Structure 1
Amino acid sequence: MVSFRKHICFITGLIIGCTSVMAQIEETLVHDNYTRHWITYLPKHYNKDRQYPLVISLHGGGGQASQLMKNTRHRFNKLADEEGFIVVYPNGLKKSWNDNNKRDTHGFARKENIDDVGFIEKMIAHLEASYPIHPKAIFACGISNGGLMSQTLAMALPHKIRAIGMVASNFGRDQIETSKEMTPFSVLFIHGTADPIFPYAEGDIQVFNTTRGHVLGIEKSLAYINARNGNDVNPVKTPIANTVLKDNCTSEHLKYLNPEHPNLKVELIKIHNGGHTWPGAKTKRVLSKIVGPTTQDFNACDKLWAFFKSTLD
């Protein structure tokens, strides 16, 4: 059963047969006896007669959809208006995602073995029935626990998810070790070298001095996906302009090319001295002491959309 509540932020009317609309819609569906919630954002000049890429943006553990949208300065919504795509912000149950890593039972979704893959798959089906979604242009991204959930979706729904973005996150060991078959997929990692929670190097996730499971780290994650995809092991490196000196971070963009399949992309934005944060997000001094520095040289939303868009070329 699917239901939804619409909260239209702004409607200007009809222009040459298409609706000029900027809409933020709260939607729900029932899956496995849980009512699941998400926010759908339709771009300005939304036109039901054209197809739109879909970006699924997943909050981290302890977060929620509205918080992610606010903290990222609504940048995905602005890009949706400018570039013409639909973005959705799902909510995990009790602020957590079951990313299929048997790493701990601290998160409600993992403890209760919530079928988050099934929920997202059903949500996509609802969106495809409600809006003109391009079936070959569905993307997922997220931060931390949301990043691991993006990996889970890419591996579990290869017929749906074209590419993913993992912010302050890298591949979970459990997912890789239990995966006998994996359809190649494109991935962009955005990760800080000083992340105190999801280590840049292989190790355990640490939350308030509690171990929350093992991750491969960036180097081993890259080695794994490059080997699976057939991408080059030596990247093309491009520095990212250091426009904000006071954030104490510098960044570079590494691209691992695939000569035989150019649209099968593996990339890393390496943030030197970056913490467990979403680049370009709003920051609070107290929180910075826990999660580390946030680069303001770019907004991760811009890099993620540019990456997703490049896979369609």
Structure 2
Amino acid sequence: MHELWRKGKLIMNVSRLWFLLFISVFSNMSLGGLQEKTLMVNDIPRHYLVYLPQTLSTKAPLIMVFHGYTGSASLIMNYSNMNDHADDNGFIVAYPQGTSDLDGNRFFNVGYSFHQQSEVDDILFVRLLVAQLIETFDIDPRSVFATGMSNGGEMAYLLACQASDLFAGIASVAGTMMDTWAIDCNPESLMPVLSIHGTHDEITWFGGDPEDSGGWGAYRSQQDIRNFWIQHNELDQSITTSLADLDPEDESLVRLMSYWSSGSDVQAKFYIVENGGHDWPGMRYDWWNPLYYLARYQMGFGRTRDIDSSKMITDFFVEVARRGRAESR
């Protein structure tokens, strides 16, 4: 096994410990409209959480939020604070939970090299789940969005490639596109995309891993991913902005690369966190919890405070919903 892969597994095992413990410290989250549900997929019970905003209108938009490798639906709900943003914007939020792999770690099947024998069909799971949620809660089928962290961010990209008929836009945080399916990615419609990624991410490398040195499988660089979506969405205008350094002590700066088209309403936004790690910038945490500092030291999780990822994502989706879903190509 590669040394970097062993390092990655060590980081994940340590982070899993604090993740499991970390869940208990978030006692102030919005739970008023939270439901825990199960959906049978190929005779396998698939679990998910769904949060209904305090003010729910008919034909509300839906955001699906996917957790990272070793994570859980409740974990990403807690640190992302998406429920509060749902209350502010009238979104319904669903948090699907992955299945457990042979190491006992929850995951979404995006084609990691050590999951090649897995028969878990997460695309089918999402298709069935979206259909059920639309029917149950009278969701606007033209305003369904996907986002996630790390493995969950990769799931968002995979859905953009293989289930573009379902989604009006996606956002990936610390995620990538695996070579095995990126090469055939051809969404049937234009796809608004937002990405947030740290240049010093030691789990999902900013420069990609074409030789599979890290053991996850070969995957694209952030520049390659950016170029792919610019070309696919036919974006011909751009501007790069340096965002305010709101927290000089976090040792990071954020650049926003925005792209749009003179011929459509489709946009793409890429937040590059200089010196950022494997992080959901602006995540919610309790400063007194030593486990937070362990995760920050191990992989930079929770370090960047210059932006609120969840607000950037929900604002992006709100704007896409306002403009209307892009038509098929």
How far does the alpha carbon of each residue in 1:78-134 deviate from its partner, in whole angstroms, 9 at most, with x for none?
1111111100100000110112x3x412x5xx5322110101110111101110201
How far does the alpha carbon of each residue in 1:168-227 deviate from its partner, in whole angstroms, 9 at most, with x for none?
012222212134665431110100111111111132698xx8521122111111111111
Aligned to 2:108: 97
Aligned to 1:25: 35
**Number of residues paired by the alignment?**
281
Q: Do structure 1's residue 39 and structure 2's residue 49 form an aligned pair? A: yes
Please give the alpha-carbon distance, in whole angstroms, between the structure 2 residues aligned to 1:198 and 1:229. Answer: 24
Percent sequence identity over aligned pairs: 26
Q: Do structure 1's residue 224 and structure 2's residue 214 form an aligned pair? A: no
Pairwise CA distance, 1:250: 0.9
SS of residue in 1 equivalent to 2:49 = strand
State the AA in 2 paired with 1:66. Answer: S
Please give the alpha-carbon distance, in whole angstroms, between the structure 2 residues aligned to 1:43 and 1:277. Answer: 26
Please give the alpha-carbon distance, in whole angstroms, between the structure 2 residues aligned to 1:151 and 1:225. Answer: 10
Aligned to 1:288: 296
Pairwise CA distance, 1:290: 2.0
Aligned to 1:241: 244
SS of residue in 2 equivalent to 1:29 = strand
How far does the alpha carbon of each residue in 1:272-309 deviate from its partner, in whole angstroms, 9 at most, with x for none?
10001111123722122221262112221100011111
Pairwise CA distance, 1:252: 1.8
State the AA in 1 paired with 2:126. Answer: I
How far does the alpha carbon of each residue in 1:67-88 deviate from its partner, in whole angstroms, 9 at most, with x for none?
111122xx21111111111001
Q: Give the conservation status (yes or no) of the 8 Å contact 1:147–1:165.
A: yes
| Structure-2 change in CA distance of 1:203 and 1:245 (3 Å) | same
Pairwise CA distance, 1:46: 2.3
Aligned to 1:70: 78
SS of residue in 2 equivalent to 1:236 = strand
Q: Do structure 1's residue 302 and structure 2's residue 317 form an aligned pair? A: no
Aligned to 2:275: 273
RMSD: 2.1
State the AA in 2 paired with 1:213. Answer: G
The structure where helix makes up a greater share of residues is 2
SS of residue in 1 equivalent to 2:245 = coil
Which structure is richer in relative contact order (CA contacts within 8 A, separation 6 or more)? Answer: 2
State the AA in 1 paired with 2:175. Answer: S
Scaled by the length of structure 2, the TM-score of the pair is 0.80
The one of 200, 214, 219 equivalent to 2:218 is 214
State the AA in 1 paired with 2:217. Answer: G
Please give the alpha-carbon distance, in whole angstroms, between the structure 1 residues aligned to 2:314 and 2:123. Answer: 22
Pairwise CA distance, 1:230: 0.6
Q: Give the conservation status (yes or no) of the 8 Å contact 1:58–1:147.
A: yes
Q: Do structure 1's residue 252 and structure 2's residue 255 form an aligned pair? A: yes
The one of 102, 126, 130 equivalent to 1:120 is 126
Q: Give the conservation status (yes or no) of the 8 Å contact 2:164–2:187.
A: no
Segment drifting more, 112-121 vs 54-63: 112-121
State the AA in 2 paired with 1:159. Answer: D
State the AA in 1 paired with 2:140. Answer: H
| Structure-2 change in CA distance of 1:113 and 1:297 (3 Å) | same
Moved over 6 A (4+): none
Aligned to 2:170: 164
Scaled by the length of structure 1, the TM-score of the pair is 0.84
**Any unmatched runs of 5+ in structure 2?**
1-30, 101-105, 286-290, 324-329
How far does the alpha carbon of each residue in 1:223-244 deviate from its partner, in whole angstroms, 9 at most, with x for none?
1111111112x63122222111
Aligned to 2:3: none
State the AA in 2 paired with 1:23. Answer: G
